[in-house]
Structure 1
Amino acid sequence: EIGWERACPLHELRKLFGSYIASTESLYISQKFLRHADASTTNDSYADAIVDDTVKNLWVA
């Protein structure tokens, strides 16, 4: 047991990364990092993500 609550931990990591990028970079940069063909996909999936400073500090570590 590794503590993942969902069956697709890689998807969860992608979602976490996407949320982080969307909250710290522009929509265009987020789209490129996530390899979305259309910016609306990025916007619909990640633009509402709010990452607080505690999570941001984990990425720095």
Structure 2
Amino acid sequence: MLIIEYFLRRKTAEYAISAHYDHTCVWEEVLQNKRLSKYNHTAIDEQFYFYQSDVL
């Protein structure tokens, strides 16, 4: 709970995620998930575009 308190409340952020052990770029993660067919490609794209539009 202290981590949530620190990153979300004190920093007034909307969400927090942990660092990925291998990728440092969201786009790299998107491409890797598609390569591995982990999820439906359309669903991956929709989620990525949602994140992308949130920061613009």
Q: In which range does the TM-score fall when normalised by the shorter chain?
A: 0.3 to 0.5
TM-score if structure 1 supplies the norm length? Answer: 0.33
Higher RCO (CA < 8 A, seq sep 6+) = 1
Report the structure, 1 or 2, having the larger helix content. 1
